[in-house]
Amino acid sequence: MSRVKVAVLGGSGYTAVELIKLLLRHTGAEIAAVTSRQEPGKPVSAEHPSLLARCDLPMEQFDPDALKAKGVGCAFGCLPHGLSAEVIAPLLDRGIRVVDLSADYRLKDLAVYAEWYGSPHHDTKNLTHAVYGLPELYADRIRSAKLVANPGCYPQTGILGLAPLVAEKMIDVTTVVIDSKSGVSGAGRTPKLTTHFPECNESLSAYSVGKHRHTPEIEQALSDVAGTPVSVLFTPHLIPMDRGIFSTIYATPTKPVAENDLTALYRRYYAGKPFVRVRDTLPATKDTAHTNFLDVCVRVVKGRVVVLACEDNLVRGASGVAVQNFNLMFGFDETTALM
């Protein structure tokens, strides 16, 4: 089978370099182009020295016709939020399918989008048919999607951590607290004081309390699973480590529950999902590092439910699940390049 030619749009960030490494291992994909607004002509391995002798392609200006002419069948958008819409519409117009790692096409409610992102959506036409790319929930729709809105890093732990409970009406959906902790790569590659090593190393802080844009994304998916509106109190924290997200989730059950029954429920719910590991023991981010696994464990404490879910924010939280979506879209085994 000939390889699918793929393009990586926006080659300078962490999700791009992680994606390129995964794609280099993919037996059914070929990286045909890497684009960059900032430094066209520069080899991607000059921007990311880890890629030397692995991917030395010069980065190029974004040009949808050139990508079409190269035979690109799928583009991965690794651009910052707000910039994706500009490049995605012209690609879709040319029949190129897209996995967009930004947040631009995740929220279906235009009012919610405007409220949290501070401006109206610029591409409502494509937003309509975009599929939220969480494979454990929406694999069928992803398979035929033209545009997949790759899910956020935090949201995946919150959504998959709670989906079995809300699907089975086990919890009071007004009581949910998601206390999340993330490694620093989640903040991106642009230097800032908050991510300057001597500021965030050996420190722990909360940020965007009550204001983080992943809140409505979590609520949208869980409400869809629940069939009723779900509200969450979501608090992100910055942790002095490169990678990893750990979410500790609290909820009040609708009736008394036993830990064993909940664990069994999780195992049934995620049966056949190769990347969700339901654990008996408490998970640790390190056991998911550099993998596409999302580990989850459920406990009952003083009558309340505590779910512990973790993942690698760059692989499972971004580039790995993007490849998982690509695999579904193009008929590859779901785990190709990801084990």
Q: Which of 55, 74, 78, 153 is catalytic?
A: 153
Name the minimum Å distance from CB 69 to a copy of itself: 29
305, 257 in Cβ contact below 8 A? yes
Q: Which is nearer to a copy of itself, 108 or 277 (CB)?
A: 277
107, 216 in Cβ contact below 8 A? yes
Name the minimum Å distance from CB 96 to a copy of itself: 27
48, 24 in Cβ contact below 8 A? no
Q: Please say if 297 is a catalytic residue.
A: no
CB atoms within 10 A of CB 175: 16
Q: Which amino acid is at 187?
A: A
Name the minimum Å distance from CB 323 to a copy of itself: 15
Q: Which is nearer to a copy of itself, 111 or 282 (CB)?
A: 282
Q: Phi, psi at residue 181, to the nearest 5°?
A: -130, 130
Least Cα distance to 55 among 27, 31, 38 occurs for 31
Q: Which is nearer to a copy of itself, 126 or 156 (CB)?
A: 156
Name the minimum Å distance from CB 24 to a copy of itself: 7
Pairing of strands 205-206, 232-238: antiparallel
Element (H, E) at 259: helix 259-269
Q: Which is nearer to a copy of itself, 37 or 279 (CB)?
A: 279
Element (H, E) at 107: none
Q: Which residues are catalytic?
A: 153
